[in-house]
């Protein structure tokens, strides 16, 4: 048995001195949840459990903080947790919990991503980028197909100030390299005044 000799609280963590002359650092949240106190005797297995649970809790809180700043796709969230060196089981438990609570939602991610990026890039380029982020193609297509392509082209056209481009080919090339289909550009660009 190992005895907890001293618990020093510092910010959101606790330095715990054990009778085997080791010091471990656990989150205060875990110390309170597990009802740890000075004089408590724990087994080696319980100590291992506490260290593992603290690592999982830290990764979960870190992901939550990251998600509070910006949306992450399911794949990005999973990769982030793998970088924290968690077991597959722990990762799946955290991901399932966050998906159930709505913190991770690929639909919201795609809508938010497109809202930000569609003024600079077209559907083909954005679809490619979203696929690389692990978003399912049918979800991307469903959302992109509900956006008016003519308005989208005009937004990108205005963003890059293509009215100042006198050469039709330069305007076309800019739109094409930004991920618009040839047919969509031709259908609309003829209606612009030069």
The answer as to whether 62 is a domain residue is no
| Tens-place pLDDT, residues 90-122 | 999 999 999 999 999 999 999 999 999 998 999
Q: How many CB atoms lie within 10 A of CB 54?
A: 19
The pLDDT assigned to 155 comes to 85
Range scoring the smallest mean pLDDT among 17-21, 105-109, 111-115, 159-163: 159-163
Average pLDDT value for residue range 13-39: 93
The answer as to whether 133 is a domain residue is yes
Binned at pLDDT 50, 70 and 90, residue 164 comes out as: low
Choice between 152 and 63, residue whose per-residue pLDDT is larger: 63
The pLDDT assigned to 194 comes to 43
The answer as to whether 126 is a domain residue is yes
The answer as to whether 34 is a domain residue is no
The pLDDT assigned to 167 comes to 66
Q: Are 55 and 84 in contact (CB under 8 A)?
A: yes
Choice between 194 and 175, residue whose per-residue pLDDT is larger: 175
Average pLDDT value for residue range 23-28: 94
The answer as to whether 166 is a domain residue is yes
Q: Are 127 and 163 in contact (CB under 8 A)?
A: no
The pLDDT assigned to 89 comes to 96
For the cut 80, the answer to whether the pLDDT of residue 77 exceeds it is yes
The answer as to whether 23 is a domain residue is no
The answer as to whether 91 is a domain residue is no
Residues in the chain: 194
Average pLDDT value for residue range 152-169: 76
State the chain's mean pLDDT as an integer: 90
Q: Are 41 and 1 in contact (CB under 8 A)?
A: yes
The answer as to whether 121 is a domain residue is yes
The pLDDT assigned to 149 comes to 87
Q: Report how many domains make up the chain.
A: 1
Average pLDDT value for residue range 61-77: 94
Q: Which of 93, 24, 100, 10 lies closest to 59, judged by CA? A: 93
Q: In the 3-class helix/strand/coil scheme, how is the chain assigned residue by residue?
A: CEEEEEEEEECCEEEEEECCCCEEEEEHHHHHHCCCCCCCEECHHHHHHHHHHHHHHHHHHHHHHHHHHCCCCHHHHHHHHHHCCCCHHHHHHHHHHHHHHCCCCHHHHHHHHHHHHCCCCCHHHHHHHHHHCCCCHHHHHHHHCCCCHHHHHHHHHHHCCHHHCCCHHHHHHHHHHCCCCHHHHHHHHCCCCC
For the cut 80, the answer to whether the pLDDT of residue 166 exceeds it is no
Range of 142's domain?
A: 106-189
């Amino acid at each position: 048995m190992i005895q907890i000799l001293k618990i020093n609280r510092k910010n959101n963590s606790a330095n715990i001195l054990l009778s085997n002359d080791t010091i471990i650092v656990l989150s205060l949240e875990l110390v309170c949840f597990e009802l740890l106190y000075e004089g408590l005797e724990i087994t080696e297995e319980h100590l291992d459990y506490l260290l593992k649970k603290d690592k999982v809790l830290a990764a979960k809180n870190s992901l939550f903080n990251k998600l509070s700043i910006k949306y992450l796709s399911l794949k990005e969230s999973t990769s982030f947790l793998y970088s924290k060196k968690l077991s597959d089981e722990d990762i799946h438990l955290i991901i399932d919990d966050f998906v159930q609570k709505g913190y991770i939602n690929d639909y919201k991610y795609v809508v938010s991503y497109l809202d930000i990026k569609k003024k600079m890039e077209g559907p083909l380029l954005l679809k490619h980028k979203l696929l690389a982020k692990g978003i399912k193609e049918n979800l991307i297509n469903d959302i992109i197909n509900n956006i008016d392509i003519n308005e989208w082209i005009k937004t990108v056209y205005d963003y890059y100030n293509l009215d100042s481009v006198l050469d039709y080919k330069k305007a076309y090339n800019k739109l094409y390299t930004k991920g618009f289909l040839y047919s969509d550009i031709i259908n609309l660009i003829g209606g612009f005044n030069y």
